[in-house]
Amino acid sequence: MTKKLSSFKGYIYLLLFLSGAIFTACTQGQSRNTGNSNYTKDYSKTKVFGEMVAELTAPPHVPPPVGNRPAMKLYMEMEITEEEMEMADGVSYLFWTFGGTVPGSFIRARVGDEVEFKIKNHPDNKLPHNIDLHAVTGQGGGAEASFVAPGHEKTFSFKLINPGLYVYHCATAPVGMHIANGMYGLILVEPEGGLPPVDKEFYVMQGDFYTEGRFGEPGLQPFDMQKAYDERPDYVVFNGSVNALSGENALQAKAGETIRIFFGNGGPNLASSFHVIGEIFDKVYVDGGDQVNSNVGTTLVPAGGAAILEFKADVPSNLVLVDHSIFRAFNKGALGILSVTGKENEKIFAGEIMEGIYLPEGSTIQKMPKDGNVVSPPVTMTKSELIDTGKKIYMQACFACHQANGEGVANAFPPLANADYLNADVNRSIDVLLHGLSGEITVNGKKYNSIMPSQQLKDEEVAAVLTYVYNSWGNNGTEVTPDMVNKRRKK
């Protein structure tokens, strides 16, 4: 009897132990698996079927979706180049690039893929480089295995075991300098079965740049290490330059289409408060992972981080992509356009339904402070000299509101490009720069109601900047002289 009781107790203890172990395993699995059914799956053991050469694309383009294909062996090849390219109109910079672009080529794969990655350092380059892929589990994200001198190439391999959107960057010392010169990009690791289909996908990355010259100062601008230390960028831009996503480079979509933006922040220093003026993100894959937030206006993306943003372009408009740390957008270049065309939908947006004047910054026209660094042109100039000087002044004083291509910002700042208001009366244009403007005006059939501060410019400077504007973007070619400005000033 005693022996049977002892056996029974042992059986009970065993059941209790197993129950506890199962409970613990389940609760641990739940805590690790919040909102993510794939988190605990071990993709390191996923078998591959076949092989293919991966397509890498330059921004803002992305390769075709992975879809429902099985895991495969992927061959990737990327060349590092050091080359001078445009930062803004009249401003160039020596970028260090992955694949010849900033950001670098977009990489698209799926979880479980085995990658054989060849990285080549062009013989004309001056420095060694490497690549650290945040999607890679291993020493330095591949940085140590990929360290390559100019004129050499390296091949290394890895398996993608975590789905998500990840940044990659150069990790050669000084790491910050290599990133600050443009060496970053995105790698997307799609989950099993792929991402849900959308109509359009775009690749956008933000970066902060540090130059010896101030914003808009012309010529080849060297990197400024002290500004980088102090985190004082002269440029904060999307896709490597001020004009990368505006004018002829604006992103294109149609009303009713679903949009997915793969957004990354190369840094090296600043976080991004990414916002699309005129739309709301239906879904935000936070940090590029599995957690999804809905109905988001602005999302925070840290340096070295990424997010997947989805929304439907409901109505035609020029959607404005900005870093909502807003001086970066209008004064340092973090601004782009997604041009949505198509049929109006008044149930969603009916446009203007009343008229009025709203002056949030006071009822009087303000004056812009005098900037001691504004270009001071000589008194006597040819038309060509006026245009050249006027372009420099424009990039210092006018770019923030009217954009580098003169298109303005929808519903905020009127266009200067092919502008009927501008071309109709040159004296009125001179008066606006001298004395400012407030109240409603109509430009190219659209109404604007804001304040244009008076510009504290010399006669020669007013003449130069207006001559540049009149001789750009389809305007009528008028030459404005200092004498014309002086006569209007005396009235």
Q: Residues forming the annotated binding site?
A: 129, 134, 169-170, 178, 183, 324
Binding residues for Cu cation: 129, 134, 169-170, 178, 183, 324
Neighbouring CB atoms inside 10 A of 428's CB total 13
Angle between helices 482-490 and 426-435 in degrees, nearest 10:
70
Greatest pairwise CA separation for the chain in angstroms: 120
C-alpha distances in angstroms, 382 versus 167, 389, 422, 430, 486? 49, 11, 22, 19, 17
316: left (phi > 0), else alpha (psi -120 to 50), else beta? beta
60-83: burial string, b at 16+ Cβ within 10 Å, e else: bebbebbeebebbebebbbbbbbe
Taking alpha carbons only, the member of 330, 459, 333, 468 closest to residue 391 is 468
HSE value, Cβ hemisphere, 13 Å, CA-based, for 174: 8
Spatial contact of 101 and 183, defined as CB atoms under 8 Å apart: no
278: left (phi > 0), else alpha (psi -120 to 50), else beta? left
Spatial contact of 50 and 72, defined as CB atoms under 8 Å apart: yes
